[in-house]
Structures are given as C-alpha cells and as structure tokens.
A and B are shown apart, each in its own frame.
Chain A
Amino acid sequence: MAQFPEAITKTERSEAMRSETKPSAPRMKRRFHRSRVLGIAWALIRTLLLFGMGYIILFPILVKISSSFMGFEDLFDSSVNWIPRRFTLEHYQTVFLAMEYPKTLLHSAVLAGGVSILQVASCMLVGYGLARFDFPGKRLLFACVIFTLIVPPELMLAPLYINLRYFDLWGLIPGGGFNLLNTQWPFYLMAVTGTGIRNGIFIYLMRQFFKGIPKSLEEAAYVDGAGPFRTFFYIMAPAALPPALVTFVLSFAWQWNDYFYTTTFYQSGSELLTHKFLGVNIAFAGWYREVFGMSPPFELHSVISNVAALFYIAPLLIVFAFLQRYFMASIERSGTVG
C-alpha cells in the first residue's frame, strides 16, 4: 500500500513517540540502561559497516579521480599510490578532444533527456489506466507488462534487429517497410509506447502509486463534471510527482548507460557519447602509434579510458547531485508494497 503525504512525517512522528515512552518506573531503569549501552554499541557497528561499504562503492571512482591527475612518470612509479607527484591535466585535455566532448555530450543529453521525459509520460498514462479502470483484459495486459521485463534482452536482440530493419507494423506499412536502424527513431518510439529499457518497472511503479491514492480526490472531480482525461491531467498527474521523479532519474541513468541497444541499433551514431567512450581506447592507441610509432603502454592506455569514464559519468552524477534530495524523498512517498 502506498503512503501518500503522511509518509514524510511518519519517521519523525515515531521518533517523537518513542522518546515520549521512556520507561519511568524504577523497575524499568536497569533495562533502560542496558538497552542504551546496546544502542551505542549498535550505532558504532553501524557506522563502521556503512563506512566500509561506502568505501567499496566509492573505490572505483576514487581510483579514477586520483590516477587521472598523475603525470606520465607517476603511472610507472610504484611508490605513487593515491597522491600524484606531478600533477597534470593533460589526460583530461587529450580525452576532451578525442571524445569531441561538448558536441557528443549535447547529443547524448538530448537523447537521454527526450527519451526519459517520454517514458515518464507514457508510463504514467499506462500505470493510471491499469490502476483505476476496470476494463476487460486488464489483468492480461498487466501480465504482459511484467512479461516484457522477464524476457532476457538477448532473446529479443536478433529479432528486434530484423524488426527494425524491415519495420512495417505487422504489414500495415506497405512496400517492405522502413529501415529504422541507425536512426534515433527506435529509442523515441519505444519510449513513447512504454516498451523502452525496463519500462515495465516504471509502469508497475506508477500503477502501485495510483492504487494508493484515495479515490475521493477523483470522485470530487467527477462530481464537478470533469471527465476521466481532465481529471487525470489536472489532478492525478500533478499528484504523481514522486513516482515521476523516480522514473525520470532511473530512466535517464539507464538510457545514458545503455550500450546494448545503442551499439546494435545505432551503430553509425558516432555523435553519441557512448560510442566515443567505448571507442576512445582504440582511437587513442591509433593516434599514439601514429605519433610515437609504437603501442601506448598499458598504464597510459588505462588512464585514458578511466578519464573517459569520468567524463562519461560526470553529467549523470551532476544531474543526480541536484535531484538526490527530492529523489530520496520521492522514494519514501511512492512506497510500493505487494
């Protein structure tokens, strides 16, 4: 059951209530003391665990950042661990130019932004339809939503490739159909129809959210003479901001990180950051061989691809840094049970 506005205050309320129910009777005093010692011990263990796991999570990013500033000779010096001896920005310069960063960044941002906005819209519509209307075939349709999730993408890879190569909508489009490969159409078309990357999850999330909203909101609108569509656009859609934000963040991140669809259906799209990032290794090796007449050393090669990874994930991390507070609050407010 989803909790709508009360959920925010719930933890605070429970904390307040718990501090009020401190045992006051002398009989309870010893027990209270013991639980307090246990509480402090647990707080220590918790801090230790969180620090340890946080380190494991942040480790790959820290390594990338630290090595990215190291000068050429630092990379071969085993006494240099985290702090570079010769601080340099030349790797950033190299990768910035090799990836054609501003241009490819813009293209990728437009694609991921456009796709995720469309997915938010389509999944909200479908989720609302599944949550609030009783039409024949509803259960079957919901089963289909879940089914699209559990089919492995590899199963669909070859047939989807063929489908997009000769796209004719079950023969509705005459003349052999369109070739949608190497265009951005598949991304947008699949987003607007709620069949993009893991869209079943978003539809499920929206459905659960709408099921948890009290019906009285809509009934009031219906009494005032609004139809189902007006009610949706003016009352329900604005209320669904929390799951919309969760959907947007996940959808943006998954589209941004996707290489599976991007490299199969959009091979020629060299203006995307994904292609530049995955190809930077080969491009750098080629350039190095041309200039120095030999392959680049492992260490240098590796630093270049790690810096490219930093360039690649930086926009995501920045977007998330701005949204994290609302994102976490939205997670609490769009609770999904069952």
Chain B
Amino acid sequence: MFKLSRKTRHNLAGYVFVLPFVIGFAAFFLYPFILSILLSISELELGATGFKLTSVGLENYRRALFVHENFVRVLFEEIVRVLRNVPIIVMFSLFVAVMLNQPFRGRLLARVIFFLPVIYASGAVLIMENFDYLTSTLRSAESGSQGALGGQTLMLVFSNLKLPEVVLEYILTSVQGIADIIKASGIQILIFLAGLQSISPSLYEASAMEGATAWEEFWKITFPLSSPLIPTVVLYTIIDSYASVNNKIMEVIRTTTFQGMGYGVSSAMAWIFFALIAVTLAVLIGIISRWVIYQE
C-alpha cells in the first residue's frame, strides 16, 4: 500500500516536468488553433482594445474554393508535389545514409557537407535566392545543360527497359530536380544515419560468415531494420515541405491574408490545405506501418 502511493507520488512529478509545454500549448497553440477555426467561418474586425467576429457560415470556404482565381489549382499541385517528393526523398536519404555509414577517408567531411543545406539553405537565404538575378541565371544555365544531357542519356538507358511512361517521367523529373531533393534531405539522412548506428554489428558478422553479398545484406538486414524510421522520415519530409520555397500554397494563403480577401478566407484556405495534407499523411503512414518490421 505504501509502495503504491509512493509510486503514484513519483509519477505525479511527471506533471511538473511537462508543465512548461502544457502552458505553452494552451497559450500559444490551442488558443490560436481554435481561433483559426472561428476565423474561417467569420468576418474579422480589429480594434484598439479587442477584435470582433461576425459569423458568415461557410461563405469563406465557398470563396476560397470557387471565387479565388487559382487556389484549387495550386492546392492540387502542392499535394501532387508532396506525394511525388516523399518516396524520392525517403529512398535518396536512406541511400546516402548507407553510403555515409561506410568507412572511408573523409567521411566526417562528407557528413558535414550533406548537413550544410539544413544550416544555410532554409528561410531567409532561400527567399533572397529565389528573387536573385545571379542565382537564377546560373541555375537556368546549369539545369539547361544538365536537363538536355541527362534527359537524353537517361531516355536512351530507360527506353530499352520498356518501363511504363509514368515511371519514366517520374525518374526524369526526379533527376532534374536532384538539387532540390538533396537540399531537402539533410535531416532525413541524419535520422537514417542514427538508425543505422543502432543495428547490431553481430547481424552483419553472422551474414558475412554465411557468405551473403553486400546487396543481400542491405535487403535482408539494413533495410528491414531501418524501416521503422520511415514513418518518422515521411512525417518530417511533409513538415519540411511547408517551409519550402517551392510551396506555392503558403504564398497564396499569405498574400490572401494581408491583401484582398482578408483573414477569413485565408484561414479557410489554410484549413482546406491542412485537412487534405492530414489525410495524405494518415494514409501514407497507415500504408507504411503495415509492412514496417519492428524489432522487439
């Protein structure tokens, strides 16, 4: 009896540890979150001492979907972009992580370079580069030569394989967007790298004794044991896509807020986008969790 109460008392100390987040969640997340629901169904008036909401029903949603000139198109394109990039980023970052986990000279330098985009290619610098004359001329020159050469060679290689046209196009666009893929994979590579470190070396030793090739080792050991990380990587990739400069939907929402149609419509837009992306995320994670192998 005494032991139980001591244990309960101990567990109650947990509330003290999580208290900062509980306060922050209530003050800086839950309140604005609920407010955003209200905003999306209201008209807003700002005053010096407070703000006033007048309910307009689903009018804001109607205006977002049917009145705004390009919201629906941009929304659709963004979902397609996310669905296209997620598998590529997962495969690419696992591939790079496996490479960076092998012993070779200059491995630390290579790891640092792959992490660099997380440090410099986000936020303000990207915004600047997006409008920059020098970067854009150089980039178009680069991708022009790359696209022509890479595209044709790839076409030659793959046309012999008789791949379906959709797959072929997917591969081609991914190769052309390789710079964006690399830059969007920094954290994902680190997640996989950390996971690879925790695979017991005895598994590789045993398989080497049995005469397994590196290819077999990858598919029978490395891939199944890092598969529990794939949902985490998918989740991060989607969160990261919100901040991408290629994400046009955020731009539409932001410009709608501060000019023209106002807070109500932009909140409705953000809600439509959030609902769609949440469904996408749930479906993706649901499918992936079915074949993830959890090691107990």
Contact = CB atoms under 8 A, between A and B. Distances in A.
B229 interface: yes
A150 interface: yes
A57 B114 contact: yes
A157 interface: yes
A229 B21 contact: no
B198 A335 contact: yes
Interface in A187-232: 189-190, 192-195, 198, 201, 203, 227-229, 232
Nearest to B252: A154
Contacts of B17: 125-126, 128-130, 133, 228, 232
Interface string A30-43: 01000100100011
Nearest to A51: B110
Interface stretch (B66-74, B121-129, B166-174): B121-129
Interface string B113-149: 1111111111111011100111100100010000000
B49 A150 contact: no
Nearest to B229: A337
Contact of B21 (A2, A122, A254, A316): A122
A170 B134 contact: no
* Interface residues on chain A, size class: 35 or more
A10 B120 CA distance: 31
Interface residues of B, number: 105
B76 interface: no
A283 interface: no
A176 B50 CA distance: 7
Given A155-B274, A159-B32, A305 B132 contact: yes
Contacts of A125: 17-18, 20
Nearest to A153: B242
Contacts of B222: none
B18 A49 contact: no
A17 B211 CA distance: 15
B157 interface: no
Contacts of A47: 104
Contacts of B113: 54, 57-58
Given A59-B142, A133-B12, A306-B132, 12 more contacts: A21-B208, A129-B17, A152-B250, A154-B273, A155-B271, A157-B257, A160-B32, A163-B28, A193-B23, A228-B17, A302-B134, A336-B232
